[in-house]
Amino acid sequence: MIIKVPSGTEPRPSEITPEQVYLNRRQFIQVAAATALTPALASAGYEGVEEYPAPAWLRQQTQAAEQWPASTDDTVTPFEYASRYNNFYEFGTGKGDPYKLARNFVTDPWSVVIDGEVGRPGRLSLEDLLKPHRLEERIYRLRCVEAWSMVIPWVGFPLNSLLKRFEPNSDARYVEFTTLYRPESMPGQRSAFKAIEYPYVEGLRLDEAMNDLAFMGVGMYGNTLPPQNGAPLRLVVPWKYGFKSIKSIVRIRLRRTMPQTTWVKSAPHEYGFYANVNPSVDHPRWSQKQERRLPSPWFRSNLIPTLPFNGYAEQVAALYQGMDLRKFF
Ligand SMILES: Nc1nc2c(c(=O)[nH]1)N[C@H]1C(S)=C(S)[C@@H](COP(=O)(O)O)O[C@H]1N2
Ligand SMILES: [Mo]
């Protein structure tokens, strides 16, 4: 059921195969997946998954992830959309740019620095960072601030279990995350007209970061992350607009003060630090009351109502008790 994607710029099967043949093969792949006796594996059941370069140990672990019992029943977005319709400005601002331009992005070896207000700071290889964590699959809704949404089966582990290992001290009130800065391989970072400042920075209040829904992703659709989706390690915060879910993380810093995050710096009246999904607070240039659930073909707009906290209010609303969410948008 896995289609290998060689590194390089080869066209994908659907580009070189007539549509009907491609679909027949996908149906075949689906049948093969349904009859395989691997019910415990997260990868069972997803069609059209392309395999991107990754270390063997990581691929093995993502394929063996266990199911999280609280996943949404919403229909999962096809892998083709989740891996080809992306925001990752480091690889261009067009939705199709990251799929094309991140193809050769090298994510192995990878290390992450954890520092700031912690008892045990350090730099860890990805392998050491992942070692103590059991991977699980969680199907979450992803709501972009641009008013489209998808449903993605992530593989990873709760952020709180990572943070606890480094022993945040009593001055730690916020968590700051930073994306890799490597202009030689990220064309958006060397563009003459940069859309945003780099490196990309995001942040959470510590209590938000400790909420069980805040997740570190290392895979999706039962396999490792494609580079365009933030390989090898990204944040997934399902109750906030997608821009909080920062990709390809190299640094996690515990802080006393609120971090200056990329989109707040770039347009503070349009994007806030909290960025909780909220249908009753519109973006200055468009409504947030509805969203286009992808895929949305041209003949059907697929508009659905946007839910407070993206449908996760029961788990997270208490974090914001007494706060004016219009002011802290
Ligand atoms: N480093 C970095 N992280 C990023 C972005 C980005 O441009 N750079 N875009 C964000 C936005 S706006 C969204 S909607 C999600 C999209 O994640 P996906 O492509 O895996 O669906 O990634 C977020 N993380
Ligand atoms: Mo987004």
Task: Give domain limits for the chain.
Answer: 66-320
Q: How confident is the prediction for the chain on average, in pLDDT? A: 90
d(C-alpha 62, C-alpha 41), whole Å: 9
Alpha-helical runs (H) found in the chain: 13-16, 19-35, 56-63, 79-82, 97-101, 126-130, 159-165, 187-190, 206-210, 262-266, 313-316
Q: Is the pLDDT of residue 158 over 90?
A: yes
Are 292 and 306 spatial neighbours (Cβ–Cβ below 8 Å)?
Answer: no
Q: Is the pLDDT of residue 8 over 60?
A: no
Q: What mean pLDDT comes out for the span 87-114? A: 98
d(C-alpha 118, C-alpha 69), whole Å: 32
d(C-alpha 200, C-alpha 145), whole Å: 17
Q: Is the pLDDT of residue 19 over 80?
A: no
**Ligand 1, atom 15, residue with closest C-alpha:** 242
What pLDDT score was predicted for residue 10? 39
How does residue 323 score in pLDDT terms, banded at 50, 70 and 90?
Answer: very high
What pLDDT score was predicted for residue 45? 75
Cα 145 to middle of ligand 2, angstroms: 5
Q: Is the pLDDT of residue 175 over 90?
A: yes
- The closest-lying atom of ligand 1 relative to the alpha carbon of residue 248 is 1
Instruction: Please provide the distance, in angstroms rounded to a whole number, between the alpha carbons at the two ends of the chain.
Output: 42
Are 319 and 270 spatial neighbours (Cβ–Cβ below 8 Å)?
Answer: no
Q: What mean pLDDT comes out for the span 37-44? A: 44
Pick the ligand that lies closest to the CA of residue 147.
2
Q: What is the pTM of this model?
A: 0.89
Concatenating the DSSP letter of every residue in 150-201 gives EEEEEEEEEHHHHHHHT-B-TT--EEEEEE---TTT-HHHH-SS-SS-SS-E
d(C-alpha 146, C-alpha 223), whole Å: 27
For the domain made up of 66-320, give the CATH fold.
Answer: Sulfite Oxidase; Chain A, domain 2 (3.90.420)
Out of 22-36, 80-94, 169-183, which region has the weakest mean confidence (pLDDT)? 22-36
| pLDDT per residue as tens digits for the range 240-284 | 999 999 999 999 999 999 999 999 999 999 999 999 999 999 999
Three-state SS string over 294-322 comes to: CCCCCCCCCEEECCHHHHCHHHHHHHHCC
- The closest-lying atom of ligand 1 relative to the alpha carbon of residue 85 is 19
| 115 sits in which H/E element | strand 111-116
How does residue 298 score in pLDDT terms, banded at 50, 70 and 90?
Answer: confident
How does residue 14 score in pLDDT terms, banded at 50, 70 and 90?
Answer: very low
Q: Is the pLDDT of residue 168 over 70?
A: yes
Residue owning tokens 């607009």: 241
Are 237 and 244 spatial neighbours (Cβ–Cβ below 8 Å)?
Answer: yes
Contacts of 226 (CB under 8 A, 6+ apart): 50, 52, 83, 99, 102, 220
How does residue 290 score in pLDDT terms, banded at 50, 70 and 90?
Answer: very high
- Which residues lie with the beta carbon below 6 Å from any ligand 1 atom? 86-90, 142, 144, 179, 200, 229-230, 242-243, 245-248
d(C-alpha 307, C-alpha 72), whole Å: 14
- The closest-lying atom of ligand 1 relative to the alpha carbon of residue 86 is 19
Q: What mean pLDDT comes out for the span 204-210? A: 99
With a pLDDT cut of 90, the percent of the chain lying above it is 84
